[in-house]
Amino acid sequence: MQPYRRIEMTVGVFVFLGLVAIAWLALKVGQVGGIGESGYTLTANFNDAGGVRKGSDIMMAGVTVGRVDDVKLTNNDHATMILRIHEGVAISEDAFASVRTKGIIGDRYVRITQGMEEAHLVAGSEIEETESAINIEDLISKYIFSGKE
Amino acid sequence: MSNGMSSNQSSATMFFGSMGRYAMRGIEQLGDGTRLGLHALSLIFARPWQGKHFVLQLYALGVGSLIIIIITGAFTGMVLALQGYYTLAKFGSESLLGAGVGMSIIRELGPVLGAFMIIGRAGSSITAEIGIMRVTEQTDALEMMAVNPKQRILLPRIVATTIAVPLLVSIFDVVGIATGYIVGVEMLGVNSGAYMAELIAKLEMIDLNGGWVKAGVFGFMIGMICTYMGYRATPTTEGVAKATTQAVVIASVGVLIMDYILTSFYL
Amino acid sequence: MIRGENLSKRYGDVDAVASTDIQIKAGAITAIMGGSGSGKTTLLRLLSGLDAPTTGHVWYGDEDLCGLSERRLYELRENMGMLFQYSALLNSLNVYDNVAFPLHEHTDLDEEVIRTMVSMKLEQVGLRGFETMMPSELSGGMAKRVAFARAIAMDPKIVFFDEPTSGLDPISAGVISTLILNTSKMNRMTSVVVTHDVSAGLAIADQVVLMWQGCIIAEGTPAEIQASTDERVRQFLEGRPDGPIPFSRSTTSYIDDLTHRPGTVRMAS
């Protein structure tokens, strides 16, 4: 029965390894267990969300400061985003949010630029100043159109 | 002339006839295999408890496949990083490398490639082993010693693959992501923070769950198909050889078909 | 007592066993004899419950084997043993574990007790000291003796023997025959022996059943069988090439086949 003991131990180690892998994937990669829920949320209204999706980055000065929690249509005419901002990142009341693109055809992200006000936005409040996505196709067609004239 | 005509016709009817027979045979086997597998599974809590044999099969099938899974996972992660880097670099999006490698491995390549390797390593041996037990009347001997071969031989193997495949696939995922990191960050100079940050940002829990559901379903399928093919193999040397080949082919194709179905559920 | 009632087993178009009635007396040795392909092994598999009959019933006392729950069937089998033609040792286990297998499965005995019992069984077949060998390292005769030890490990009430002496040298065959005789008498075992070895069968059996083409053609004590005047029985006992039992199984004419005369060569359809 000694060999069976050793087999049992080996199987135990194997199952443990597998569970560690599962736990790492779930906790670290999948951000289970509230890690994804940390920080606070702000809202922002855009005329055109322009490709920003749930999970898109929020960047300030080129640094990721949060993720987009949700994008939905409000009043049938404009997009409302729920922005989840990392704890400890303070955003001034007159901050400015814009939809930008990484590179020419890269991913869309939300860029936040700080304003002048000393006061900071509290959780749940709205960033009033926004700028919608620059639509490259619009730009190109505008350019071609003007070129023809 | 008329002779040639009629032989043409008859070869056409023969073709469709044999197609029909193959289809019928396939459906028959599907039903028979499901019944056999479920019968085996229904004995999971029947006395005597087969715990020791679950462990033994986990050892043979799970631990036995670990090395090959680590190697496959490592090289999959490396090649994905390499390929992904040169594609993403063209668009200035190298920072997305982690997300690309992680997404492809967790959602698709981990479960499918992992399942393929396990079919080749463990599935074929299940079929061959059970087939040989049939040829040499060992299953009959078990019957006569009042040991149910469905409970003793089939059940532990189905349970073991169903448990082992998700574990192995998770190890595959982690190893692949890690080697992708090594190639991407250490060799190609992708920003080290970006690799993991993008991976974490882009991957949702549903992607992970999808991968695990796939792995579990594949493991169960592999167990069911490979035990069935062995148990119902024609009890000759040739029959076992043929059954082993068929088991590998059917299980692999089955995994791909199932992968499509499950992917369409999880998108 | 085991009773087979109107037993048939069909494989494709062939009746391996055709509506056969058979009675196996308790505590006696019954030899089922016949040429190869006469259906005797099939009959044994039906009687032991390994195969289900196409028609008919197998009665163990007042229980029909074919209608039993799986659980009850395995309960009955704890009192059965079987020696297979090619031994059927579990080739992942060594000799000791093979013989101890039924004891490990169905008893809670201490390993020490099991060790003693296995030693006794192996001593009976003359293979004590071979405990650690693997089945692949054994000769055919040795494997058969180990399988014999395994079949009687639980001291079962009923033991089935499928060709116990085939493929063995005369001495081993003699040893096995004697073992069957001795253990049966000693343990008051019901033994069913399938064999085509006429002398061995007649020597040990209390009752002989002679089969041909899936049917029983003669039944009785060895003396009665030997005194039979049935031509088929005489031919089998004496091993004559000519007689009512044809050697050739072909259904087409030999001359026609050789000359490829049209109409006789059957094309695959």
Residue that the structure tokens 């050789």 belong to:
C258
Q: C-alpha dihedral over A135, A136, A137, A139, to 10 degrees?
A: 90
pLDDT at C101: 93
pLDDT at A140: 78
The stretches in chain B having pLDDT less than 70 are 1-9, 267
Contact status of A11 with chain B (Cβ, < 8 Å):
yes
Q: Chain B: give the shortest CA distance to residue C243, in Å.
A: 34
**Cβ-proximal residues to B241 (8 Å cutoff; 6+ apart), any chain:** none
> For residue B102, which residues of chain A lie inside 8 Å, CB to CB?
29
Taking only residues 109 to 148 of chain A, the set having a beta carbon closer than 8 angstroms to any beta carbon of chain B reads none
Q: Chain A: give the shortest CA distance to residue B251, in Å.
A: 23
C192 close to C160: Cβ distance less than 8 angstroms: yes
Contact status of A15 with chain B (Cβ, < 8 Å):
yes
CB half-sphere exposure, C123, CA atoms < 13 A: 6
Q: Chain B: give the shortest CA distance to residue A78, in Å.
A: 25
d(CA B106, CA B173): 6
> What domains appear along chain C, each with residue ranges and CATH number?
2-79+156-259 (3.40.50.300)
Give which of C102, B52, C111, C104 is closest to A4, Cα–Cα. Answer: B52
What is the side-by-side strand order in the sheet with C215-220?
A: C80-83, C158-162, C190-195, C29-34, C207-212, C215-220
What is the side-by-side strand order in the sheet with A57-60?
A: A126-127, A40-46, A78-85, A63-74, A57-60, A108-113, A96-101, A129-131
How sure is the predictor about A103, in pLDDT bands with cuts at 50, 70 and 90? Answer: low
Q: Which of A10, A22, A67 sits opposite B59 (nearest CB)?
A: A10
What is the side-by-side strand order in the sheet with C2-11?
A: C14-24, C2-11, C55-60, C63-64
d(CA A20, CA B68): 19
Domain boundaries, chain A: 1-37, 39-141
pLDDT at B66: 95
Given a cut of 80, whether residue A6 has pLDDT beyond it is yes
DSSP A50: T
DSSP A98: E
Backbone angles phi, psi at C148, to 5 degrees: -65, -45
Given a cut of 90, whether residue C141 has pLDDT beyond it is no
Quote the tokens at residue C58: 């197998």
d(CA B60, CA B113): 20
> For residue A27, which residues of chain B lie inside 8 Å, CB to CB?
none
d(CA C189, CA C179): 12
Any idea how long chain B is? 267
- Average of per-residue pLDDT across C207-235: 88
Residue of C nearest to B140 (CA): C50
- Average of per-residue pLDDT across A108-129: 83
Q: Which of B58, B201, B208 sits opposite A25 (nearest CB)?
A: B208
Q: CA angle C226-C231-C233, nearest 5°?
A: 40
B129 close to B230: Cβ distance less than 8 angstroms: yes
CB contact under 8 A, A29 and B167: no
Evaluate whether ipTM surpasses 0.90.
Answer: no
Highest mean pLDDT among A51-60, A84-93, C6-15: C6-15
H/E stretch holding B32: helix B2-42
Mutation for A interface: B52, B57, B63, B213, most A CBs within 10 A: B63
Q: CA angle A63-A66-A67, nearest 5°?
A: 125
For residue C170, whether the previous peptide bond is cis, meaning omega lies within 30 degrees of 0, is no
Quote the tokens at residue A62: 């080129």
d(CA B197, CA B15): 57
Quote the tokens at residue C178: 């004697």
CB contact under 8 A, B166 and A18: yes
Which of the other chains make 3 or more beta carbon contacts under 8 angstroms with chain C? B
Which of the other chains make 3 or more beta carbon contacts under 8 angstroms with chain B? A, C
A52 close to A68: Cβ distance less than 8 angstroms: yes
pLDDT in tens, C6-61: 888 888 888 888 888 898 988 899 999 988 888 888 999 999 988 889 999 999 88
Percent of chain C with pLDDT over 70: 95
More confident residue, C121 or A37: C121
- Average of per-residue pLDDT across C160-168: 87
d(CA A58, CA B214): 32
pLDDT in tens, B214-258: 999 999 999 999 999 999 999 899 999 999 999 999 999 999 999
